Amino acid sequence: MTSPLLEIDGLSVSFSVPGGTVNAVRDVNLELAKGEILGLVGETGSGKTTVGKAVVRLLEPTAGRILIDGVDITHLSRRAMRPYRRQIQMVFQDPYSSLNPRMSVGQLIGHPLAIHGIAGRSERRKLVEEVVDKVGLSRSVLERYPGEMSGGQRQRVGLARALVLSPALLVADEPVSALDVSVQAGILNLLVDLQQELGFSCLFITHDLGVAEHLCDRVAVMYLGEIVEIGRRDTVLVDGSHPYTKSLLEAVPVPDPVLQRSRERSTLPGDPPDPLSPPIGCALSPRCPLADSRCLEEHPALMVMRSEDSSSNTSLGLGEHMVRCHRLQEAGLLVSK
């Protein structure tokens, strides 16, 4: 049995704010296999970025564990965490604010190598040039500064900076959402090519279901800080089972305007609950058309879809289709793992 590269066990992250405490992430459990791309999707405020920042230890968890290759890194000191920093890198959403404008591109990409004491100056220059080639930039950009480059070029620099250390895990937080649509496809295709070439695992955070469908092997859907559905890409993004997943899929526009007008839309009423006072039961219950008294009073567990073809599951169970819904459980479609 192959162990997962990343294990997230009962992760919770809370913030103290005026008026109380916001539970931004609540009891999240995830596993990411080596060489896999896992998409974390959901609307703004669902907790996706908080999960990503906790994985790279930019945020400290309130509860739970984060394991890399079986090693719990959740509470490691800065010194003990240092070797794992090389293995876990992040690409941020905004290429305009994630790069130091006072450093040249060559300095930006080479800085991680210097921090970790990798190779001498001439060898570091060679590694920087190689990774710049990989991300599709000319070596002439090494002498330029971020302010002299386009958004797409800056994001390629951010990707090069993350990959120069040859990480095992890349956390990509909405890496194309701040870019022009015309540029997005090039960055996504580049990421796919690099992942296939280099073999790193990727936790890909996005609100765009089309991007997740193009890129990811599996998809986890988050709502109000918790995972409500997770499974293989085709299972979740073609025929999602949770009411929230269904509403996301129905909200995706169709290119044909005639078909778009004729589609039945079941948009969820109202707005997401106040995170300072989340529902006692199912997080979606105030908005869900299927909710009953049990949904309002009892928090549902994440359970396995009975209809899933078990022969397609991996040895880790990573192929399992899991959903958090009382009504599906009552219909006999969900079973405890």
Interior angle at CA 88, CA 85 and CA 89, nearest 5: 95
* CATH tag for 1-101+150-216 (out of 1.10.510.10, 3.40.50.80, 3.40.50.300, 3.30.70.20): 3.40.50.300
Provide the 3-class DSSP secondary structure of residue 322: strand
Please state whether beta strands 322-323 and 303-305 pair in parallel, antiparallel, or not at all (unpaired): antiparallel
Picking from 11, 16, 29, the residue whose alpha carbon sits closest to that of residue 74 is 11
CB-based contacts of 276, cutoff 8 Å, min separation 6: 17, 19, 20, 21, 22
Residues 296, 281: contact at Cβ < 8 Å? yes
Q: What is the DSSP letter of 119?
A: S
Instruction: Identify the pLDDT of residue 204.
Output: 97
Residue type, 86: R
Can you give 77-132 as a three-state secondary structure string? Answer: CHHHHHHHHHHEEEECCCCCCCCCCCCCHHHHHHHHHHHCCCCCHHHHHHHHHHHH
- Domain definitions of the chain by residue range: 1-101+150-216, 240-337
Q: State phi, psi for 10 to the nearest 5 degrees.
A: 60, 35
Rg for the chain, CA atoms, rounded: 21
Instruction: Identify the pLDDT of residue 337.
Output: 73
Residues 146, 104: contact at Cβ < 8 Å? no
pLDDT tens readout for residues 265-300 = 557 888 888 888 899 999 999 999 999 999 999 999
Q: Where are the beta strands (DSSP E) in the chain?
A: 6-17, 20-32, 37-41, 63-68, 71-72, 88-91, 169-173, 201-206, 218-223, 226-232, 303-305, 322-323, 334-335
Residue with the larger pLDDT of the pair 260 and 172: 172
pLDDT tens readout for residues 309-332 = 544 444 345 678 999 999 999 999
Instruction: Identify the pLDDT of residue 255.
Output: 62
Q: What is the largest CA-CA distance in the chain?
A: 68
Instruction: Identify the pLDDT of residue 312.
Output: 44
**CA 175 – CA 81 distance, rounded (Å):** 25
Residue type, 161: R
Q: What tokens appear for 157 in the block?
A: 């620099």
List strands edge to edge, sheet with 226-232: 88-91, 169-173, 201-206, 37-41, 218-223, 226-232, 322-323, 303-305, 334-335
Please state whether beta strands 303-305 and 334-335 pair in parallel, antiparallel, or not at all (unpaired): antiparallel
Instruction: Identify the pLDDT of residue 293.
Output: 94
Query: What is the model's pTM?
Result: 0.92
